Amino acid sequence: MSDRHYLEKELQALLRNDPQIFEFLQSGSLDGIWYWDLVDQNAEWMSARFWETFGYDPASKQHLVSEWQEMVHPEDLERALENFQKHAEDPNHPYDQIVRYKHRDGSTVWVRCRGLIIRDAAGNPSRMLGAHTNVTELKKVEEELRQANEALRRSNEELEELTYIASHDLQEPLRVVASFTELLSERCENELDETATKYMNYIVDGTHRMQGLVRDILQLSRVSRRREAWQDVDLTAACECGLGRLEEVVKESGVAVALTSLPIVKGDRSQLETLFENLLSNAIKYSHPGDVKIEVSGETDPDGTVTVHVKDNGIGFEQHYSDRIFRIFQRLHGRSEYSGSGIGLAIVKKVVEHHGGDVWCKSAPGEGSTFSFSIRET
Ligand code: ADP
């Protein structure tokens, strides 16, 4: 007691001796206080501010427990009484909850209600002191935010659905255009002059690019946030499968892939295979042909976080582009040098985020790149 600050001691004394101080504290900092007789159980003193918060004239109210209990939402009253029991049995269990009161005008007032049981010399509950804080405004903001989030989620879902349908349905007419332009180009091979042949090649090339773009957009829109397909996924197998999808390119460019055993995680197998497919396809594409070495390794932290690295010995890029390249359609290399739509890494990022993780890369021009991602283990 003796090491209490002198001002604290002074304030305690003021509180004891000057009723104005108590009045200031209870009306200036709280939205009501109450003091309950736990021996009588019916008698409870409520401050004037207590009633004013709910729109009542304090003079019209009696100092009885029943006066407030009938204004509280029944579910919240039940919860508050449960907490009261627990706090009575164990002082360490806090009596602290948000309850809904009915205002005189019929609206709801959200109140944070905290209380402390005061015990007699034998340790039996004798009184209870409580304080109210009106949190209605906070609750309203919380509700508005929840509604805004819900609207955003719905509109995102609609957009994803639309992207999926559009890219899926565009594939068929595009296939028709692509195959007939190719047929036409073969058929007219000897009849077209140099300029017409050039134009024809542009058309064929443009159609192929559009097919690639539509395919990538479709893949991006397929990375849904749904978790129905979640299961234990062996990342080694997912990586091998991603590599398998690149069989032709792998054969062509004589790639050497060193894959060490990777952990098992909870996730969407098909999405994780797509993730590896995109990282490996980039590692092969942005490389020095004839000398492509890729290393895939991973580790698990003591907290269960799994981190995987895909390292290549390719052309690399300036480190300050490392955030930008994960954005859709962002490319550092021209189409004439390297084909692509700028969607692969956006897919990777979406998959990783869907798995509650993070993705990043380290690179330098001419020194290769390492793309890493982390997700939490099962
Ligand atoms: P795309 O490969 O279709 O262009 P991505 O989204 O997969 O699209 O990649 C975005 C850009 O990031 C690429 O255009 C390239 O400039 C750069 N990039 C990605 N991976 C690598 C890599 N392994 N090495 C060097 N540059 C890369």
Ligand 1 site-directed mutation target among 220, 325, 372, most atoms within 8 Å of CB: 325
Instruction: Identify the bridge partners of residue 373 per DSSP, sorted by sequence position.
Output: 308, 359
* In the chain, alpha helices (H): 6-17, 19-29, 48-53, 65-69, 74-89, 136-187, 194-222, 235-244, 247-253, 269-285, 344-354
Q: Which residues of 231-252 are buried (b: 16+ CB within 10 A; e: fewer)?
A: eebbbbebbbbbbebbeeebee
Cα of 300 vs centre of ligand 1, distance in Å, is 27
Question: Residue 307: enclosing H or E segment and its boundaries?
Answer: strand 305-312
Amino acid at 23: E
Pocket lining: 328 vs ligand 1, CB cutoff 6 Å: no
Instruction: Identify the bridge partners of residue 264 per DSSP, sorted by sequence position.
Output: 234
Q: Which residues of 108-145 are buried (b: 16+ CB within 10 A; e: fewer)?
A: ebbbbbebebeeeeeeebeebebbbbbbbeebeeeeee
Q: Tens-of-pLDDT digits for all 378 residues of the chain? A: 567 888 888 888 988 998 888 888 877 788 999 999 999 889 999 999 999 999 999 999 999 999 999 999 999 999 999 999 999 999 999 999 999 999 999 999 999 999 999 999 998 999 999 999 999 999 999 999 999 999 999 998 898 889 889 899 999 999 999 999 889 888 888 888 899 989 988 998 899 889 999 999 998 888 877 777 789 999 999 999 999 999 988 888 788 899 999 999 999 999 999 999 999 999 999 998 888 999 999 999 998 899 999 999 999 999 999 999 999 999 998 888 898 989 999 999 999 999 999 999 999 999 999 999 999 865
Pocket lining: 282 vs ligand 1, CB cutoff 6 Å: yes
* Whether 347 contacts 219, CB under 8 Å: yes
pTM: 0.70
- In tens, the pLDDT along 164-195 reads 898 999 999 999 999 998 898 888 888 888 99
